[in-house]
Amino acid sequence: MELKGIITAMVTPFDENQEINSEAAKQLINKLINAGVDGIFILGTNGEFYLLTDDEKVAFAKLVIDEVNKRVPVYIGTGGNSTREVIALSKKMEALGADALSVITPFFVVPTQQEVIKHYKAIAESVQIPIILYNIPKNTGINLEPATVVELAEVKNIAGIKDSSGNIENIQSYIEATKDYDFCILSGSDSLILKSLELGAAGAIAATSNLLAELDVSIYRNFLKGDMEAAGKAQKEIDVFRGVLKLGTVPSILKKSVELSGIPVGPARLPATEPNAEAVATIKEMLRYYKLA
C-alpha cells in the first residue's frame, strides 16, 4: 500500500443521542470516494477518538472498512497514552482489515524522545500493517524530533508521519531527515497541503475534505500534473472554510458545516456543544460561497 494523496480525516457521525450514526457514515464515505479522495482516515482528532470507547471504535472501524470495501485504503487512529492499550486496540483493528494505523504521541504527561521511540517500536512489533506516526504538538505537548523520526523510520512497518504542527519547517525537517528511507510525510495542516507537496511530501490528511473533497483533491491532482497555478488557486480557495472552523471547539463547526451541506453527521460529542446562532449564520454564508447550500 502506498501512502499518498488526499486522505480525509473523517468525522464520526452521531445521531441526536450522540450514538454512532451508521447511515450517515455510509453516506459520507460514498460521497468522499466519489469525489476522488485517496484514502479515509478515521478516529483522529476530528473523528473524536478521545471521546469514544474502544468498543465504539472497533464497531465504527468495522462499519467503515465494510462500507469502503477496499475502494480506497482505510487508516485508523489507535493512539493513546498507554502502550499496552494501544497495542491491544491496534491488534483488533489489524484483525478487522485496517490498511494502516495512525498512532498519536502520548499526551497529558510528556514522555521523552527515548520513551516515545520505545512506545512506537513496541506497537510496530505487535502488528504487521503500516504505522503512521502522528505529530500534533499543540495538543499533546510533545514534538517528535527529526532524529526520533529517523530512528523510527528504520522500523520496517513504520511507514510515515502525519505532521499537524502547522509549521512548514517541521515538515521540511522530516522530509530531509528521512530522504534515504522508504518513508512518507503527510501534511496534517490543510493550509500547508501545496507547500508540503512542493517540498516532497506524499500527500495530506485533510479534515477540510469532509466538506471540500473535490477542492482538496484538485490541489493534489493539479500538483501532479504540474499545473501549479490551478493547484495554488485551489489551495487558496479552502481558506474561506478554514476561517470559519475557528468559530467553535473542534470538530463542532466542521460537523455542522457537513450537516448543513446535506449529510446528517450530527453534533460533536460533549463537552463540545453546538455552534451558536451567529456561528451557524456564518457557516451558512460560507456554504453559499462554495455553492453547497
Query: 285 in a domain, yes or no?
Result: no
- 118 assigned to some structural domain: yes
Strand boundaries in the chain, DSSP class E: 5-9, 39-42, 74-77, 100-104, 131-135, 158-163, 184-187, 203-206
Pick from 227, 230, 172: which is nearest to 201 by CA?
172
Quick check: is 271 in a domain?
Answer: no
Asked, for residue 259, whether it belongs to a domain, the answer is no
User: Which cell numbers in the block locate residue 170?
Assistant: 517541521
Query: pLDDT tens across 20-46, in order?
Result: 999 999 999 999 999 999 999 999 999
Q: How many domains does the chain have?
A: 1
pLDDT for residue 50: 96
Mean pLDDT of the chain: 97
The one catalytic residue in 120, 134, 174, 220 is: 134
Give the model confidence (pLDDT) of 255-269 as tens digits: 999 999 999 999 999
Query: How much is the pLDDT for 2?
Result: 81
**Integer Cα distance of 77 and 94 in angstroms:** 11
What digits encode the pLDDT tens for the residues 120-161? 999 999 999 999 999 999 999 999 999 999 999 999 999 999
Beta carbons within 8 Å of 137's beta carbon, 6+ residues apart? 143, 165
Euclidean distance between CA atoms 230 and 49, whole angstroms: 35
Concerning whether 134 is annotated as a catalytic residue, the answer is yes
* Domain ranges, residue 36: 5-228
Residue 281 located in a structural domain = no
Between CA 204 and CA 123, with CA 61 as vertex, the angle to 5 degrees is: 70
In this structure, what CATH number is given to the domain that contains residue 78?
A: 3.20.20.70
By C-alpha distance, which of 104, 37, 108, 48 is closest to 73? 37
Residue ranges for the chain with pLDDT beneath 70: none
> What sign has the CA pseudo-torsion 197, 254, 251, 44?
negative
Amino acid letter at 266? Answer: G
> Is there a domain that residue 156 lies in?
yes
Instruction: Tell me whether residue 257 is in a domain.
Output: no
Q: What is the Cα–Cα distance from 83 to 86, expressed in whole angstroms?
A: 5
Q: Which runs of consecutive H residues, i.e. helices, occur in 226-251?
A: 228-237, 239-245
Q: Which residues pair with 104 in a beta bridge?
A: 134
Q: Is residue 283 included in any domain, yes or no? A: no
> Which of these is catalytic: 4, 162, 255, 256?
162
Buried b (16+ CB within 10 A) or exposed e, 81-100: eebeebbebbebbbebbbbb
Question: Which H or E element spans position 126?
Answer: helix 113-126
Q: What pLDDT is stored for residue 1 in this prediction?
A: 72
